[in-house]
Structure formats: C-alpha cells, structure tokens
Amino acid sequence: MENFVRVAAVEDLSPGSTLRLVDFDPPVTLVRDLGGDFHALDDACPHVGASLVRGVIHEDAVIECPLHHGLWCLRTGEPRKYPARVPATVHRVEVRDGGVWLSV
Ligand code: FES
C-alpha cells in the first residue's frame, strides 16, 4: 500500500511557487502550478543537476530549469525542450485536509 506523508499546508505555496523538501534523499521540489495544482519531482535537474526549486513555472504545468532553461512537464516528467532529454522523476501528490501529501 502506498504511503503518504504530509509535507506542507496548501496555503504554504501560492500558484507558481516551489518548496525544496530536504527531508528526502534525494531532495524533492514541491511545486504549485499556475492553475493551483501540486506536483513533486526530484530536485536535481535531469540534465546536469541544477536545483529545480529555483525553476520558473509556466502555463500547462511546465517547469523551466534555471540553469540551461530545459523544460519538463510537471505531470509526467516528460522532457519538453532542449536540453531536456531525460525524463524528470515525478512523485505522486495528494491534497487533503488542508495539507499536501507526498507518496514515499
Ligand atoms: S541543469 Fe537543468 S537544463 Fe541543464
């Protein structure tokens, strides 16, 4: 059975913001997209490892790496724009009871 841990309150992140979860190994970046949905992915960019917590969030749940500007889909991890070639590792997130819960 899948286990979830509460990692934030919904109000901790406004749309378009991120939070680095350092209690996980490897660290995870929690993202609230521009539509208000939550996503989580490994913090290290799949290209050469920049921290995605400083990424730019675009429409349609896309994150842009701050280093070389590769784009990845936050829903699936699919690479969207060079130099993104390798999929990002995404994690399941649920919102309930006013909290954001991450699958571990
Ligand atoms: S480190 Fe992210 S695109 Fe290069």
What tens digit of pLDDT does each residue of 5-14 get?
A: 999 999 999 9
Ligand 1, CB within 6 Å, residue ranges: 45, 47-48, 50, 65, 67-68, 70, 83
Cα(36)–Cα(14) distance, rounded to whole angstroms? 8
What tens digit of pLDDT does each residue of 44-68 get?
A: 999 999 999 999 999 999 999 999 9
What tens digit of pLDDT does each residue of 69-80 get?
A: 999 999 999 999
Top mutation candidate among 68, 82, 89 for ligand 1, by most atoms within 8 Å of CB: 68
- Domain range 4-103, CATH architecture: 3-layer Sandwich (2.102)
pLDDT computed for residue 2 by the predictor: 87
Contacts of residue 22, Cβ cutoff 8 Å, sequence gap at least 6: none
pTM across the whole model = 0.96
